[in-house]
Structure 1
Amino acid sequence: MVRGLTQWTKTLSFPARVSPQRPAKEAKVFQVSPSASPTTPPSPIGDNIDKPAVINEESFQDLEAEKAIMGSIVYCIHHKDGCKWSDELRKLKAHLNTCKHDAVPCSNKCGAMIPRVLMEDHLKYTCAQRRARCDFCAKEFTGHTLEKHSGTCGYEPLYCENKCGMKVQRRHLSQHKLGECAKRLVACRYCNKEFVFDTLGAHHAKCGRFPVACPHRCETAVLPREDLEVHLKDHCTTHLLSCTFKDAGCRFKGNRFSLDKHLEESTKMHLSLMCSVVTKQQHQITSLKSAISKLSLNYTGTLIWKISDYTAKMSEAKVKEGMELVSPPFYTSQYGYKLQASVFLNGNGTGEGSHISIYIKILPGEYDALLRWPFSHSVSFTMFDQTVVAEKACNIVESFIPDPTWKNFQRPSREPDSLGFGFPRFVSHEMVKKRHFVKDDTMFIRVKVDPSKIVAV
């Protein structure tokens, strides 16, 4: 591409270290027409260009200035775009004809000015007039029409939108989604609910409306799966049914009609079987009750006895002579002595009518044959003061050590002593009223048996 000196000098860059240093009076601007050669001095205005140029002193000075200018070291006008060329100004024109960064018209005449360094890519990929084939249908297009064709080519393979993993040509994609895709939605032909196609087989295995045959091959050919249970129970004529008393031991099996006849003819047998079942169940209930009672037994040697409805029980004790309340039995250890406490709310013996009396009894236990007799553990009774401030509570405690000569502490017979041993004047009725021994109509008494103490406290 031909350029004039004035076009070059507009974008020239002179390296500061090699720029010509000439006196200001010697510097003269030299204008060159676009068609003139950089080495040919311009003709005087109005002169015929065919006449030989007259070289005078002033012209000689201009030639020297031009020579100095043309020998100056410059960078390429495209150095900011990446061109590394740098040389004398007179060589710039030749360099621009080959500079890869200098824009030239597209050789396909698409009208674009393309830097030489990008020309190859332009002709191959972006030129609107390039000739190219579609990678999918192999048809030839110009660059402009290829861009329009891309994205619409019927032969381009695309992934199915249902995410089934298949790649299908665009022209067949609609047909694939409707009739071939494993992830398409289809309706079950039996219940009309929609399912993904590849799960339809699993649905059919449990679909309530799926037709199944009677497993006993009766006259009913097929029926919906959800109706099969009712069919076998109420309608199937070949299904063998067990007797309704099979859990009681009856082993009869037959069809519906023979079962009805069996039930009518076997009433006495069924009654006998049921009586045997009831007897077994009664034994089981007794055994379970015994096991539960053992689990609920107290083996700690300490009983916290809660006496509720105190007011009603005290009123009853005052009108009913000798009314005794007995506690749940408890043991000194898992294989120890079996004991039980009793209370007379209106008193007993010397405390009758004025005090609460309390006693302890030794009951016949399962391991009495292995225990030491007479009974010698210390026993203490505590009535708890239920005042709100625990530090101000004043509990009443009475205790004793059994006298080995007393009959009460010998090994009990199957008919234990009816009274036991204790304190007939444990707590006076007046003291009960003064303190908070009864709260919310409830009284708490602790009975503690301690084998380690030999002194009553």
Structure 2
Amino acid sequence: MVSTNGVFSKADTDMEEGKTLLMKNYEKLSIVATNIETIDNQLTQIYVQMLQCHQQNTNLHQELNNMKIINSLEKSYLDTILLNQNILMQDITMLKQQVENENQIIKDGPNGTIVWKIINVREKTYDAQSERRTSIYSPAFYTSNTGYKLCVRLYLNGDGSARGSHISIFLLILRGSYDSLLKWPFSYRVSFCLFDQRTIIETNGNIQPKHIIDSFRPDITSISFQRPCSEMNIASGIPKFFSLIEFNKTENENLYIINDTMFIKVLIDFIGISRSILPFIFNLNIALPTHIQEKLISKEIKRREEQNIH
């Protein structure tokens, strides 16, 4: 304010300076307020973003849990499929065995003898070597119409200590229809013969074949030869029946496998014949009727007794 004499008083000057200072402070406060509002808006945005991130994290966690549940269900489903597949493969194997058994001719012979025809030998040998199926079973058979029910178990790559070196062959006693009438324990000597087919075919029987013959007498204290309490007893027999070196020879050299087929004859000795007569019995023509085979065996036994041949 100008005085009457045209000069500003000190009070007027101080007032103007105060107003100017107030205006500057007001401007600063306005700027600060604006900055605070901006920061507040930014904090609000950050909070909203945090909420969104939290929600996204919750959603991701839920999706992860859902994926775990789905994976668990898928694994359970796959395990079920695998189990069903294994069961199906076992059923197929059993059906295949049953079909093969239908094609295998089991012939009753004298003194409880039978002949087991085994087809697809190379495939079965490969299965045994790869441990896909280590053993095969013969069809069940009775030693007579009212006799013992038995079957043979064959390991084409060996069993136990004989694995990889010998064929192993065992006898199994099955639960039969007439067990309550039979003598127990089973105590009769069991003999096996793997036929030399090539010599028979190529020489028309004029040269003695090199059949593989071996026997064992049951251990009557073993549970294997007691009356069966379940469908079958534990197998027992001959672990080192035949060398795999000979058995696995090429087709042109092999005496025992012709056209991928082999034959094993089983003899249950009920009359106590001498082991020395086994080659004679196993070399008899299996085409002969049972009563003729029995007559020839009896005649040979008598001849040996008269000539004191052991």
Which of structures 1 and 2 has the bigger CA Rg?
1
Using CA pairs under 8 Å that are at least 6 residues apart, name the structure with larger relative contact order, 1 or 2: 2
Structure showing the higher helix proportion among its residues: 2
TM-score, scaled to structure 1: 0.34
